Amino acid sequence: MSMLGTKWKLHGDGKSIRPGTVVAPEERLAWPLTIGVGMQHVVAMFGATFLVPIITGMPPGTTLLFSGIGTLLFLVITKGRVPSYLGSSFAFIAPILASQQQFGIPGALGGVVLAGVVLALVGAVVQKFGAEWINRTMPPIVTGAIVALIGLNLAPAAKANFDKAPVTALVTLVTIILVSVLFRGILGR
């Protein structure tokens, strides 16, 4: 049983996910894999939730507070069917930094709130009409270009972090490359 009463059923054999399939809401993998993926998700999202405000000059404590509130609301709204931790998005870094130059931190925070409202409205439209219209208006070539732009916008921050702690950065980079090349499945993730 989940914390809100939803019983998750095992996805397939619980040990693997066939290509092209997903673990749906109300499904789970075997408990060791579920716990491992959950820990990886929390570590990745916490890192983003803490790093994005540091890069943008926003208060990390406030970001963590609202990340927690958002996560709790999400779990209540979805009735625990989709266990997830909600955190910051690296997609907001470039717009936040650009708006800070013209409007300061209060203006950037206002922009984040407005972006949240727009995303909530888009979510309501998707809930009512489905996501196919998004897939048509934003095919993989568009979404791929957006992800590439986010990465390119983060390059200066990555270089600055590498310059501050080159040994840590090099160990991290080599570890990521080796794990992604040498391991498959859950360990590769």
For the chain, where are the E strands, in sequence order?
Answer: 9-10, 27-28
52 pLDDT higher than 50: yes
Q: What angle do CA 40, 63, 83 make, to 5 degrees?
A: 40
Please state, in angstroms and rounded to a whole number, the distance separating the CA atoms of residues 108 and 56: 9
Q: What pLDDT, on a 0 to 100 scale, did the predictor assign at position 57?
A: 85
Q: What pLDDT, on a 0 to 100 scale, did the predictor assign at position 1?
A: 42
166 pLDDT higher than 90: yes
Among 60-64, 91-95, 138-142, 170-174, which is the least confidently predicted range? 91-95
Q: What's the farthest any 2 CA atoms get from each other in the chain?
A: 54
Domain spans of the chain, in order of start: 139-189
Residue pair 105/57 in contact by the 8 Å Cβ criterion: yes
DSSP class of residue 92 equals G
pLDDT digits (tens, 9 = 90+) for 138-165: 899 998 998 898 888 888 888 998 999 9
Residue pair 56/93 in contact by the 8 Å Cβ criterion: yes
75 pLDDT higher than 50: yes
DSSP class of residue 7 equals P
pLDDT digits (tens, 9 = 90+) for 76-105: 988 877 777 788 887 788 788 888 889 998
Q: What angle do CA 151, 153, 156 make, to 5 degrees?
A: 105
